[in-house]
Amino acid sequence: MKVNQAEFIISAVGPSQYPPDALPEIALAGRSNVGKSSLINRMIQRKNLARTSSKPGKTQQLNYYKINSDLFFVDLPGYGYAQVSKSKREIWGKFIEQYLMHHEYLKLVLLIIDLRHPPSKDDQIMYDWLKHNGVPMCVVTTKADKITKGQWQKHVKIVRETLRMEKHERLVLFSSELGVGKDELWEIIEQEISK
Ligand code: GTP
Ligand code: MG
């Protein structure tokens, strides 16, 4: 997709704040600090439209980014960040679940995983939950630049095995730093939103 325009629309804390536009939505889920916001920036080739931070827990609402008049990227709060209080984590969990369950324009969830490490318990729960609820998803393993190219496939295999992914299920190897995987991911997104 050619991105002509990308703009931040709103940080929504509840359904009443979701934008009224009937556009397809592509949501990004994953652990805190895994690189969700950076992935959005790479996809649209902007340095810092989606705010990133080396400190986990930066994104705490549903952040909507409108891409052309084609779609929204919805940056979800990261999960699994221990420093956040339990009650706050529960609120986020409910909030994310409510969005994922009831959102009619949601076309695809990108489940972002750190390629360097086996998926965490939280990643496995998220993957199983999405699958169980029939939410279309694509696993994206990011930060590929942090390991040598020769190791990539070994790590992909560990991710696939840990999540117990089936052969036909999609996985895109990604690096926001290098831009690896960007074109492949756009193809998948375009395919989903044209359905
Ligand atoms: P939360 O909003 O806290 O949930 O985090 P996030 O998942 O949005 O992560 P974010 O994009 O803010 O990135 C976290 C840190 O990882 C930042 O310091 C990024 O620069 C770094 N980072 C993200 N993606 C990559 C990548 O592909 N390669 C490298 N080397 N660093 C990355
Ligand atoms: Mg973020």
pLDDT per residue over 128-145, tens digit each?
A: 999 998 999 999 999 999
- For ligand 1, residues with CB inside 6 Å are 30, 32-38, 52-54, 56-59, 78, 142-143, 145-146, 175-177
Does this model's pTM top 0.90? My answer is: yes
The ligand with the least distance to the CA atom of 30 is 1
Highest mean pLDDT among 14-18, 76-80, 102-106, 134-138 belongs to 134-138
The pLDDT of residue 193 is above 70? yes
Q: Which two tokens stand for residue 160?
A: 């696939």
Amino acid 83: pLDDT = 62
Instruction: Calculate what percentage of the chain has a pLDDT beyond 90.
Output: 66
What pairing do the DSSP bridges indicate for beta strands 71-75 and 62-67?
A: antiparallel
Domain spanning 6-193 has what CATH number? 3.40.50.300
CA of 109 to the centre of ligand 2 (A): 15
**Which of 32, 42, 52, 88 should be mutated for ligand 1, with most atoms under 8 A from CB?**
52
Q: Whose CA is nearest to atom 26 of ligand 1?
A: 143
pLDDT confidence tier of residue 82, bands split at 50, 70 and 90: low
> Please, what is the average pLDDT of the chain?
90
Amino acid 52: pLDDT = 75
CA of 65 to the centre of ligand 1 (A): 17
Among the residue ranges 43-52, 93-102, 110-119, the one predicted with the least confidence is 93-102
3-state secondary structure of 29: strand
Highest mean pLDDT among 94-98, 100-104, 107-111 belongs to 107-111
Determine the average pLDDT of the residues in 173-192. Answer: 98
Task: Say which amino acid occupies 188.
Answer: I
Q: Which residues contact 99 (CB under 8 A, 6 or more apart)?
A: 15, 27, 62, 74, 76, 106
Q: Which two tokens stand for residue 102?
A: 């009831």
What pairing do the DSSP bridges indicate for beta strands 71-75 and 25-30?
A: parallel
